[in-house]
């Protein structure tokens, strides 16, 4: 099954049961100011998008699954004021950059908070490179980058969802990327107990990165 087909099927079946915000979103909230524009990359069914929006943060959701984006748009029937926009796209190419800039012409004067939970390990190394290059396009403005991903210590642990494409990432590899871009790693932690779902107590890394 192609990666996007898997996620379309996943969000058709799982959308009704996963609507509370992730613990990572709750954790990150205290590091994000009300004036920030949040870009939720790999938004899935929008559980964290709507958490941020209901807390009056301005947020744009992005996912390559059309099913996920359609679901997010359908959930926004009440027109939550802070929910701005949703984009169906993968991480390759310039579509996301253009969508962000065209939707918010204040990107040069406000802080952008790129939020990415359980996304990095779900994409290829090429897509990961494109992801960081996309972020680096905003190097002349102030941004935060929030990452939570499965590490190489998670490879042998139980998984709650069926087998699909996953990478198990050595956090030091991400540290080196951050150093090469001259970004600042301001918070780091790893371990279990941070991202529990059913019998899946993933061994994850959490990183908060700033370019200012």
pLDDT tens track, the chain, 212 positions: 455 666 666 666 665 556 789 999 999 999 999 889 899 999 888 889 989 988 888 888 888 888 888 888 877 655 555 555 566 666 665 666 666 666 555 555 578 999 999 999 989 999 899 899 989 988 888 899 999 999 999 999 988 776 677 899 999 999 999 999 999 999 999 999 999 988 899 999 999 999 97
Strand boundaries in 33-181, DSSP class E: 37-41, 58-63, 83-88, 112-117, 143-150
What was the pLDDT predicted at 79? 55
What was the pLDDT predicted at 89? 65
Domain that holds residue 181: 3-210
What was the pLDDT predicted at 199? 86
Phi, psi of 113 (to 5 degrees): -110, 105
Stated pTM of the model? 0.86
Rg of the chain over Cα atoms, rounded to whole angstroms, equals 16
Tell me the two tokens of residue 159. Answer: 């998984």
Question: Sheet of 83-88: strands edge to edge?
Answer: 83-88, 58-63, 37-41, 112-117, 143-150, 204-210, 184-191
Cβ neighbours of residue 139 under 8 Å, at least 6 residues apart?
Answer: 181, 211
Number of neighbours of residue 93 by Cβ within 10 angstroms? 11
Q: Are residues 60 and 38 in contact, defined by beta-carbon separation less than 8 angstroms?
A: yes
Strand boundaries in 102-177, DSSP class E: 112-117, 143-150
What was the pLDDT predicted at 1? 46
What CATH number did the domain enclosing 39 receive?
3.40.50.150
What was the pLDDT predicted at 67? 83
Question: What is the total count of domains within the chain?
Answer: 1
């Amino acid at each position: 099954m192609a990666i996007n087909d898997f996620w379309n099927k996943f969000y058709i079946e799982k959308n009704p049961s996963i609507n509370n915000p992730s613990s990572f979103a709750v954790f990150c909230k205290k590091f994000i100011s009300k004036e920030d524009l949040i870009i939720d990359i790999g938004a899935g069914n929008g559980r964290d998008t709507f958490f941020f929006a209901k807390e009056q943060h301005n947020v744009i959701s992005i996912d390559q699954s059309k099913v996920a984006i359609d679901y997010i748009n359908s959930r926004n029937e009440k027109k939550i004021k802070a929910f701005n926009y949703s984009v169906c796209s993968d991480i390759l190419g310039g579509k996301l950059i253009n969508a962000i800039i065209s939707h918010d012409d204040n990107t040069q004067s406000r802080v952008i908070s790129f939020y990415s939970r359980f996304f990095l390990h779900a994409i290829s190394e090429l897509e990961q490179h494109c992801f960081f290059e996309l972020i680096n396009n905003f190097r002349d403005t102030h941004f935060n980058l929030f990452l939570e991903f499965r590490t190489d210590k998670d490879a042998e642990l139980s998984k709650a969802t069926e087998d699909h494409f996953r990478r198990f990432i050595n956090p030091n590899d991400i540290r080196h990327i951050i150093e090469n871009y001259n970004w600042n790693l301001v918070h780091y932690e790893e371990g279990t107990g941070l991202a529990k779902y059913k019998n899946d107590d993933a061994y994850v890394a959490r990183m908060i990165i700033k370019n200012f």
